[in-house]
Amino acid sequence: GENVEQHPSTLSVQEGDSAVIKCTYSDSASNYFPWYKQELGKGPQLIIDIRSNVGEKKDQRIAVTLNKTAKHFSLHITETQPEDSAVYFCAAIITGTASKLTFGTGTRLQVTL
Amino acid sequence: ETGVTQTPRHLVMGMTNKKSLKCEQHLGHNAMYWYKQSAKKPLELMFVYNFKEQTENNSVPSRFSPECPNSSHLFLHLHTLQPEDSALYLCASSPEGGVGETQYFGPGTRLLVL
């Protein structure tokens, strides 16, 4: 089955700096890659996603890049703010089944003042 | 808010107790999911329901028993649990359970088994 690895497990940046979180996946058939943000006491919330037919997608301060050949994708957050502090999860979907997302282990991002 | 609610938010139970977790979605979706979230581990898919029919059981022990009476409600019945079952249990929904659909998560029930 699919295996998703996520790095780093923790990341601390100063406010205004950029943050990058990287994930690799094993199943070359995966074609949908969402990113979720989980704040304390809440469930994961989708913040951005990318499909395998594009290499990059941007939404204001967040962007995701996908390298299908290398089977890795990354989340980029620019101009970080304290409210960006949360746990971020990447995921990849196994095609052919009903939305069976395989998640990474999460990255705890801390944005310091 | 995502439109997916879960009750209770916190639950403490002994290994001989029977309890149920409830999930309700107000999004008009037809697919619902149970996930287990443990510390330092990836989210684990437990069950999937599409149009009230169970389409996925990810090798979950029988001490967890799901129930989906309609497309808006999902239950997880718990009995004779083990301490290692302590975790955050998340419910999610999506429009039709298709590949590539966005899933919307509830806030979770934090379960502690003593």
Scanning every residue of chain A, which has its alpha carbon at the shortest distance from the alpha carbon of B34? A100
Query: Hey, are the CB atoms on B100 and A98 less than 8 Å from each other?
Result: no
Q: Do A46 and B102 touch (CB under 8 A)?
A: yes
Residues in chain B closer than 8 A to A36 (CB atoms) = 105
Note whether A7 contacts B: Cβ–Cβ < 8 A. no
Establish if A1 touches chain B: CB-CB under 8 angstroms.
no
CB contact under 8 A, B98 and A44: no
What is the pLDDT, as a whole number, of residue A54? Answer: 86
The per-residue b/e assignment along A4-40, b for 16 or more CB within 10 angstroms, e otherwise, is bebeeeebebeeeeebbbbbbbebeebbbbbbbbbee
How many Cα atoms within 13 Å fall on the side-chain side of residue A83?
1
Spatial separation of the C-alpha atoms in residues B57 and B82, rounded to whole Å: 19
- Which pLDDT score, from 0 to 100, does residue B100 have? 64
Nearest Cβ partner for A42 among B55, B99, B107? B107
Q: Which residues of chain B have pLDDT under 70?
A: 1-2, 98-100
Residue B81 φ/ψ region, left for φ over 0, alpha for ψ in the -120 to 50 degree band, beta for the rest: beta
Q: What pLDDT, on a 0 to 100 scale, did the predictor assign at position A27?
A: 87
Interface contact flag, B97 A43, Cβ < 8 Å: no
Return the amino acid letter for A61.
R
- Hey, is the C-beta of A104 within 8 angstroms of any chain B C-beta? yes
Could you read off the pLDDT of B42-52 as tens digits, one per residue? 889 999 998 88
pLDDT tens, per residue, chain A with 113 residues: 788 999 999 999 999 999 999 999 998 888 889 999 999 888 999 999 998 888 999 999 999 999 999 999 999 999 999 999 999 999 998 655 554 788 999 999 999 99
